[in-house]
Structure 1
Amino acid sequence: MAILVTGGAGYIGAHIVRAFDEAGLDSVVVDDLSSGHREFVPDDVPFIDLNITRTKKLTEALRRYDIEAVVHLAGFKYAGVSVERPLHTYQQNVQGTVSLLRAMAEHGIGTIVFSSSAAVYGTPDIALVTEDTPTAPESPYGESKLVGEWIIADQARATGLRHTSLRYFNVVGSGTPDLYDSSPHNLFPLVIRALSEGHRPKIFGADYPTPDGTCVRDYVHVADLAQAHVVAAQKLLAGESLEPVYNLGSGDGVSVRQIMTAVARATGIDFEPQVVDRRPGDPARIVASGERAARDLQWAMRHTLDEMVTSAWQAGRE
């Protein structure tokens, strides 16, 4: 028996695969390598090079493995770019989820943990987001993640599918030096790349309604996030009931400018970031409570901000 990890060659997915291995659970990875890396997948983990929107081929591929559950991360994940490419975003994220659920139903796979996003909340007007905060996504990416939650919940009502959706916030750091965030849009890899090339890192907008004018985010370490997936999958497979959604948040907000200060402290590089225009689709502030996940999924912030920055710097320079 094994757990299928869609998007398992990506930054977050690869950490989840490692976490399953550490827990003594076998996994199978499906990824089209549009943003993932083949070398992130261990040699002893079966790898399927495939876009999950190709339902027939996905169904055929799953026939070769004894899959008991799915952790679904595959999709187009860039909120700002999704504003410019809404049709592509919906095709990959909504159609992809429908395709996966069809393949799961074909093979009688009845458990799924879904990678959702804090983007479903948009820009909430409260200090701390909970799972009961109204959803109001402001980008096609956020909308596609919310629709994904709805589709999975509807399939559960129709078929008894066991499920939960984990709403991620800003995932950073590295659990091992050979796994790094290579996104061309995420803050940490952008800062690391700029410093490595001798350039000034950029801050996208310094005129937000926040204390220092830069976006405030909820940063969580990728290894902590991966562990929550392991617990969620284990509990669902054991027949335990979970909430339909959980926030994986720290409860504390850190501004982009504060991140820059932490980077300078961790690297020993003294720099003044360059302020440029805002990116479309970026909310001013989003910080969430992780209390419900702590109660049910053993969720905890086990890494400090400096540990997040240092591990990202070390992995990003490998």
Structure 2
Amino acid sequence: MIEMVIDARRKDLGGFEVGRVLPFHARRTVGPFIFLDQMGPAEFAPGSDAINVRPHPHIGLSTLTYLFEGEIMHRDSLGYTQPIRPGEVNWMTAGKGIVHSERTDPLKKSQGGPMHGMQAWIALPDEAEDLDPSFDHHAEADLPAYENNGLFARLVAGEAYGASAGVAVQSPLFYVHWEMKAGVKTAPPPGRGAGGYSERALFVARGQVEVGDRTFHPGQLIVLEPDAQPTVRASTDASVMALGGEPVGQRLIWWNFVASSQARIDAAKADWKAGRMKLPTEDDLEFIPLPDVPSTPEPAPAEVKPEPTHPV
């Protein structure tokens, strides 16, 4: 039932740790999901820097931020300023280009507190790569939820279980948050053999779960076989993200840029270096410079490219 298991690589981004799951050298994507980070879990001391990601650019993708705990302030070049809190979605489609920052609000920084969540990048299909950029915030009311007998499920984006989330996705996908009490069983959306999605995976964010006769722990991504129809059982209270969808084709990743061609990457690099991409309206006093690392013309493991800016 299981194609492979990917262990998150812990990375210290200046006092804040993330678990980087995708891309992985042996598995770059799951459906259109081309990047997946687990933020934390962390507990920030009062007055600590917390989340402090300076303005930086994107092309060719949508970012999806989803929190279990904490708060992050988003600001972008379209003029949006939007805090995100647990159970909500910040959905930003970069298209042909957008710039944003992600920081902890000064008041929250002075108070300290927990931070735990997920950041996903979804590669855009060919016909959407040059869309005008956009940003949408979705409250819990936009996200279908179900709760019964120790299982809470929220459809964060896409379509699953006969429901559709309010997030305007550009290709077929699903992204589901499960909160499971110990002993509870559930199942992911059906796979290819049952007329469902071609690619699916489960990420354990908290606790332990069993799939078949194997037990999985926090920080592990369980990539399922296309035709598998597994039952997932919580060994302990657990938080799990189920994700997948249909691939959009080969994609290059360089820093924060995702594209179907090297020409698009090179154009974005030149635009950012020359200052042709507008900074966020309310956060324009600093930015992250273009990394001084040469790109390569063919897809390669992410480890040989400059690290994405995002811890979130």
Q: TM-score, normalised by structure 1?
A: 0.26
User: Would you tell me which structure has more strand in proportion to its own residues?
Assistant: 2
User: Would you tell me which structure has more helix in proportion to its own residues?
Assistant: 1
